[in-house]
Amino acid sequence: MRTLLLLLGSLLLAGPALAQRVSIDSVSVADSIRHSVHLKDGSTMVGRITGVTADSVRLRLDGGELSLARAAIAEVIEFPASRLHDGAYWFENPHATRLLFSSTAFPMEKGTGYYSNTWLVLHTFATGLTDRFTIGGGFLWFPGVPIEDTFYYLLPKYTVVNGERAKFAIGALAGLLPFGTGGGDRTSAGLVYGVGTIGNRDSNLSAGLGWGYAGDELATNPVVMVGGQGRVSRRFSLISENWIFPVSGETEGLYSYGIRFLGEGLSVDLAFISPFGESVTIPWLGFAFRF
């Protein structure tokens, strides 16, 4: 547990400031700003835009300045010069809205989305309907299991507080079990929760409470989640997600630690999960594509 607390404390070390997509006509030419220019041919150039005309964009690179046709530019990402480390641009964390399993309070941008997969059996899709409301869903399916015996779920989330450094969201995991109580039809079961997150998308801590339910019965005592992620290099973050369960008279739960491998549109999680006070370790392997 001491190691876990040290890891969580390290996750809030200052990380790079947030990047944002901007239209060409609204780019900043300030000395403190840099730009990642994605071209339609698939290439990317990182430098500082120094001027924009009706048909061209001037981009200053380390080796000099060049002119790009506006029609050739697919996207411009604007970020503080502090996101350059040894000349390399630290792109935005592609999967800041979730830890290993739990949601953070970060919303998805409107029109963006992701597909995630854990151990090839847990499939999740999500998209930002607005800049505050995210809707997702998925299913747990094992090869050879009939479709009618699959566990399905929805993942609505609304970010109520969307401050620069502090956010709070409410949401649910609304599932449909392939069986019912007493051998009956399918039963709804899941979790309703609230979660707060402090920090930026690269380095943050989250804490939440969730109440489980099955059918029309809601748990009296909540489960507690504490976790976070801290970016340590352009391609790697440390990540941890930990649960405390409401067991009468005892402290039961799970703790985890791992690494998130980062790409501009892809993240891969390799982590290890253990019950409190036990030597058993369960590996966790998952990935997510952002689109």
CB 78 within 8 A of CB 35: yes
Across all residues in the chain, what is the average pLDDT?
Answer: 90
Taking only the tens place, the pLDDT of each residue in 274-285 is: 999 898 999 999
- DSSP readout, 218-263? E-SSPEEEEEEEEE-SSSEEEEEEEEEE--TTS-EEEEEEEEEEE-
CB 190 within 8 A of CB 174: yes
Nearest to 116 by CA among 89, 132, 134, 90: 134
pLDDT reported for residue 184: 61
**pLDDT reading at 5 higher than 50:** no
Q: Could you tell me which residues are beta bridge partners of residue 126?
A: 114, 136
Q: Report the amino acid identity of residue 203.
A: S
Instruction: Domains for the chain: give ranges and CATH numbers.
Output: 2-14+93-290 (2.40.160.40), 20-89 (2.30.30.100)
CA angle 90, 93, 95 (to 5 degrees): 165
- DSSP readout, the chain? -HHHHHHHHHTTS--PPPPEEE-GGG----TTEEEEEEETTS-EEEEEEEEE-SSEEEEEETTEEEEEEGGGEEEEEEEEGGGEETTEE-PPPTTTTBSSSSB-SPPPPBT-EEEEEETTTEEEEEEESSSSEEEEEEEE--TTS-GGG-EEEE--EEEEEE-SSEEEEEEEEEEEESS-GGG-S-EEEEEEEEEEEEE-SSEEEEEEEEEEEETTEE-SSPEEEEEEEEE-SSSEEEEEEEEEE--TTS-EEEEEEEEEEE-SSEEEEEEEEEETT----EEEEEEEEE-
Q: What is the mean pLDDT of residues 158-168?
A: 97
pTM: 0.81
Least confident interval from 26-35, 117-126, 163-172, 264-273: 26-35
Q: What is the mean pLDDT of residues 78-102?
A: 90
How far apart are the C-alpha atoms of 61 and 195, rounded to whole Å?
42
Q: What is the mean pLDDT of residues 24-36?
A: 90
**pLDDT reading at 291 higher than 70:** yes
How far apart are the C-alpha atoms of 103 and 84, rounded to whole Å?
28
Least confident interval from 25-39, 75-89, 101-115, 199-213: 75-89
CB 259 within 8 A of CB 272: no
**pLDDT reading at 105 higher than 90:** yes
Taking only the tens place, the pLDDT of each residue in 193-239 is: 999 999 999 999 999 999 999 998 999 999 999 999 999 999 999 99
